[in-house]
Amino acid sequence: MCYDQEKTRAVPGDPRVPFEVQEKLRADREAWAQREIGGCNSASRPMSSAEILAELFTYHPPTELTLPKFAAINQAAKNFAEVILQNCPASADRSAAIRLIRDARMTANAAVALNGLSL
């Protein structure tokens, strides 16, 4: 079976999104990147552990920037799960492999949603 590799890549800019929206997203990305998480290179106050923990357990709705990344991660995970199903005999190990793919997908999506934030 041949998988659509294009679906496993996030599109950096969607031509259907107006330029003004793309510029706002770019500015938001830059502002988020400058938000310090405990280092010394920022003019703003580093986040405390409590603030980071609160952010980790806050719902982060998908945005125009994160949606294609989530879709790419989901497609790649689904492709890998299909390979496992086609090549591994039904067993506890196959079930565990699928479960771990799901866990990896969820963790990767969290990394995107949190933009690398961690304790």
Per-residue pLDDT tens digits for 49-96 = 999 999 999 999 999 999 999 999 999 999 999 999 999 999 999 999
Its pTM stands at: 0.64
Which percentage of the chain shows pLDDT scores above 90?
A: 55
Total domain count, the chain: 1
Q: Give a yes or no: residue 2 inside a domain.
A: no
Q: Give a yes or no: residue 6 inside a domain.
A: no
* CB 109, CB 73: distance < 8 Å: yes
Going 68 to 73 to 74 to 76, the CA torsion angle's sign is positive
Q: Give a yes or no: residue 8 inside a domain.
A: no
Tokens matching residue 7 = 């679906």
Instruction: Give the Cα separation of 7 and 16 in Å (integer).
Output: 17
